[in-house]
Structure 1
């Protein structure tokens, strides 16, 4: 498999290299070639590449995350496992392995150049702004590299942890049935939990806990029949607002938009929303026109009153309607000649 240099960026990766990465993957995993799959694959590679370089910076330069300690072997280097055991003994003595000792595609020269690249004043300023921005996030998931589906399996194994829906059955209120409704709201709620010192799942951040409780509150309203979710307009939508294009909360994946996530259900909901928005816009326009006509009428009435003439209300007409409401059989007044003014020249017939 081809590897990208940590000194480059995805923007400058050539189309030939992207094609080679796709073809290598197609041949290795026996994937049916398809342009749509290729686009999703390249998007995933771009994200993984950026995340990997971020991992190098935060693990070995800013020290904001745990470092990778084990040797990452490439194909054909399985016998380095024995050397890995010796390196682990060295690590126990306090020695920190550098990236070029862990990943075979990173050389010592590349690492030194990468450090120089990421410690320039411009790079440090950009990283500081990004860190401040990310620190303002109201919630973070704690699934690690796992998907929502993989994390859900673990959550379901913990008794009483995955949000459940209780409903009464039979004639007595004490008889209830507890069911698990698999949806993105429950998956997202579980992803906010990390483990404390005793291994229990908990939400340590008060701000995150507040948001999680608000989401559960809407879920309780759903159970009580006070709230009916439609497509993506569920508890998450009510608390966090609409999803960004291509990034659906609680779903994961690459280029997974609302239409892909919800299909015809989202399309029907969106069409209904557009129709309602159109009707609402029409009502607003009609109201604005009526308000404008009222203001114009008041202004004209004030002018007519100042001139000592009758108002439009007394004439029972509105501005702009005087000519349209004039009786066609009533002869129009001939304009009087004013001394000193040059009369309009007669219309001449065109030369024959």
Structure 2
């Protein structure tokens, strides 16, 4: 009996200690580890769906993005400085070969896939800087302890450069540039290309105008409560309401990218990208080719057009007057030289 009681007591104490440890583990903040995708290694190939803008969508889009991130992290050394200038084409082609074997991707999307890989590679280097240099990782002293593809010597080299004055100055300039983004989105990693179909499918208001201004404000609205998180974004949304009223009344007629969004933001569209759409989508993709480009398409006011027209008119008159004068002088000289009468 005593032995039984002692044994039972020991088990009780053991379980109590285990419960205490378990509770401590549960209260300790958990951190996200590296994406491994072990379950995906023996599956596939997967057939991706693509939207009209040339971005992956559908059920495999998120897994595809994660797979691209994993591959580029494993295969491209963190000490390359620039994706476009330093990473060799042979290495990029190897990436493309691996990714297109796992996910059935048409050759026409190769450039888009590699651009995406470059962005994920840069993001990964930024993550290493934030978690292991600027801050102390709660679990690992070095990413070489966490990622098998990072050698300790490569990490020390990376760390030395990221702590240098040269990189700090470069980082400072980048931070200043980011400050110009007054209206950051809250879409997370999925972005417009995956969010837009969801927004359209969930829209229950048949009178709602679905255009790029609608996409833009959706991308900056918290999906959990539908509220706009920032006063500046709220101000833009209020402007949109007013401009849509003007469109409805006929007071304002949108023309290509001179529309509700550009008027509400009070900013002209930049070449090479279109607000309210995924990165890489161009003005031509969204608005098509302008037939007979007007002065409004290139951002010239009516007053500027009038001034240019007047200047060209005056220059033309001066040129013609000078030409006529020279020809008259030449004719007069010929008449005098040959003793002819002028008519």
The two structures have a TM-score, normalised by structure 2, of 0.60
Q: Which runs of 5+ in 1 are unaligned?
A: 70-93, 165-177, 297-317, 335-352
Cα distance in 1, alignment partners of residues 201 and 334 from structure 2: 93
| Aligned match for 1:19, one of 75, 86, 93 | 93
Could you tell me which residue of structure 2 aligns to residue 79 of structure 1?
Answer: none
Cα distance in 1, alignment partners of residues 155 and 98 from structure 2: 26
| Aligned match for 1:120, one of 164, 187, 191 | 164
Q: Determine which structure has more spread, i.e. the larger CA radius of gyration.
A: 1
Could you tell me which residue of structure 1 aligns to residue 283 of structure 2?
Answer: 258
Aligned residues: 260
Do the aligned partners of residues 270 and 138 (structure 1) sit closer, same or farther apart at CA in structure 2, a change above 3 Å counting?
farther
Do the aligned partners of residues 240 and 27 (structure 1) sit closer, same or farther apart at CA in structure 2, a change above 3 Å counting?
farther
Could you tell me which residue of structure 2 aligns to residue 52 of structure 1?
Answer: 124
- CA deviation vs aligned residue, 1:225-274 (integer Å, no higher than 9, x gap): 33233333322232353433332211104x32122233xxx21x353427
Could you tell me which residue of structure 1 aligns to residue 221 of structure 2?
Answer: 193
Do the aligned partners of residues 180 and 128 (structure 1) sit closer, same or farther apart at CA in structure 2, a change above 3 Å counting?
same
- CA deviation vs aligned residue, 1:250-305 (integer Å, no higher than 9, x gap): 1104x32122233xxx21x3534279889x899756522554589x7xxxxxxxxx
| Alignment RMSD (CA, Å) | 4.2
Correspondences of 1:1-352 after superposition (within 5 Å): 1=71, 3-9=75-81, 10=83, 11-32=85-106, 34=107, 36-62=108-134, 95=139, 99-152=143-196, 178-194=206-222, 200-238=225-263, 239-253=265-279, 255-262=280-287, 266-267=288-289, 269=290, 271-273=292-294, 287-291=310-314, 321-322=324-325
Cα distance in 2, alignment partners of residues 233 and 145 from structure 1: 29
C-alpha contact (below 8 Å) 2:244/2:260 kept by paired residues:
yes
Q: Which runs of 5+ in 2 are unaligned?
A: 1-70, 338-343
Do the aligned partners of residues 325 and 204 (structure 1) sit closer, same or farther apart at CA in structure 2, a change above 3 Å counting?
same
